[in-house]
């Protein structure tokens, strides 16, 4: 009749957790906020450095492709001769 499910979810009220409230001074709160802000700035600077590195890599790829672009345009303009044996027709009789 009783199960572990009942024991876990329907336990007496004195087992339930209550929210905890911590009281600290204004100076401690300010110091904690300053520390948190410093960590956030450090993290954002690292993100910016990673993004700038990515931008530099993309710009290098664009430059490499632009130098190859005139050669690619000339290769497209040159006609490609098709072999005569490539076009063979098949006929089926019914």
Report how far apart the first and last C-alpha atoms of the chain are (Å, whole number): 78
Number of domains in the chain: 1
Within-domain flag for 91 = no
The predicted pLDDT at position 74 comes to: 75
Cα distance between residue 29 and residue 8, in whole Å: 37
Within-domain flag for 8 = no
Question: Each residue's pLDDT tens digit in the chain (94 positions)?
Answer: 566 666 666 666 555 667 788 899 999 999 999 999 999 999 999 999 999 999 999 999 999 888 888 777 777 776 666 665 555 555 555 4
Within-domain flag for 51 = yes
Within-domain flag for 48 = yes
Within-domain flag for 47 = yes
CA 51 to mean position of chain CA atoms: 12
Cα distance between residue 50 and residue 45, in whole Å: 9
HSE value, Cβ hemisphere, 13 Å, CA-based, for 22: 5
pTM of the complete model: 0.50
Cα distance between residue 8 and residue 91, in whole Å: 78
């Amino acid at each position: 009749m009783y199960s572990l499910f009942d024991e876990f979810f329907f336990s007496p009220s004195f087992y339930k957790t209550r929210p905890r409230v911590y009281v600290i001074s204004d100076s401690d709160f300010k110091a904690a906020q300053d520390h948190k802000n410093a960590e956030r700035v450090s993290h954002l600077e690292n993100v910016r450095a990673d993004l700038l590195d990515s931008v530099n890599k993309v710009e290098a790829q664009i430059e490499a492709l632009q130098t190859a672009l005139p050669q690619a345009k000339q290769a497209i303009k040159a006609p490609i001769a098709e072999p005569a044996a490539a076009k063979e027709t098949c006929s089926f009789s019914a």
